[in-house]
Amino acid sequence: MYFASLYGRGDSLQLKVDCPKYSSEIADDIKYIDASAVLNKEKNEVSFFIVNRSENDNCNIDFDLKDFNVDSIIDQQIINNEDMYVANTKDNPNAIKPKKTSIVKLIDNQLSTDIPKLSYLVIRLKLN
């Protein structure tokens, strides 16, 4: 809840997500990458919330942000864990926590990232 509640205030953006898909027992055409984005006009920021559902594969994502005029990356944080079944308990309350990361790159105005398998990533961008 932490990422979305803190950084998801503003206007939701329509996203076009192109990526490989899979089928499960409960649905078809499931995109491995699940995403949303929120534009905060007052602060002139946009936040992306990205989940990589894949158990096995990292995903190299290229962003096409046609008219956003991105100035810089304010923040990038990720939640994941080597152990799929570990939890935050009273004896280990910090087993899973958001961590600062540097996997998101802004080079020549192009945003890209390599998101690890089974990860939840927030990217916050400052706009010009």
Partner 1 sequence: MKANITAVKDFTISTIDKRIYGSFLEHLGRAIYEGIYEPDHPEADENGFRKDVMKLITDLNMPTVRYPGGNYISSFNWEDSIGPIEERPTRLDLAWKTRETNEFGLNEFITWCRKTNIEPMYAINLGTRGIDAARNILEYCNHPSGSYWSDLRIKHGYKEPHDIKMWCLGNEMDGEWQVGHKTATEYGRLVHEVAKSMRKFDSSLELIIAGSSNEAMPTYPDWEREILEHSYDSIDYIALHKYWTNYEKNTNSYLSSSVPLQEYISTVEGTINYVKAKKRSKKQINISFDEWNPWYHTREMQTQNYLDKNLSDWPKAPPLYEDMYNILDTLLVGTVLNTFINNSHIVKIGCMAQLVNVIPAISTVKQGISWPQSI
| Subset of 52-111 contacting partner 1 (CB under 8 A) | 53-55, 57-68, 79-81, 83-90, 93-97
Smallest distance, partner 1 to C-beta of residue 52, A: 8
The interface mask with partner 1, positions 1-30, x = CB under 8 A, is: xxxxxx-xxxxxxxxxxxxx-x-xxxx-xx
Find all residues with CB under 8 Å of 74, minimum gap 6, and list them: 45, 124, 125, 126
- Which position among 74, 106, 120, 126 is part of the footprint of partner 1 (CB under 8 A)? 120
Q: Residue 49 and residue 61: Cα distance in Å, rounded?
A: 13
Question: What is the Cβ-side half-sphere exposure of residue 86, based on CA atoms within 13 angstroms?
Answer: 14
Smallest distance, partner 1 to C-beta of residue 101, A: 15
- Closest to partner 1 by CB, 16 or 108: 16
Q: Which of residues 29-48 bind partner 1 (CB under 8 A)?
A: 29-30, 32-39, 46, 48
Spatial contact of 52 and 119, defined as CB atoms under 8 Å apart: yes
Q: Residue 73 and residue 48: Cα distance in Å, rounded?
A: 11
Is residue 7 classed as helix, strand or coil in its secondary structure?
helix
Smallest distance, partner 1 to C-beta of residue 97, A: 8
- Closest to partner 1 by CB, 102 or 128: 128
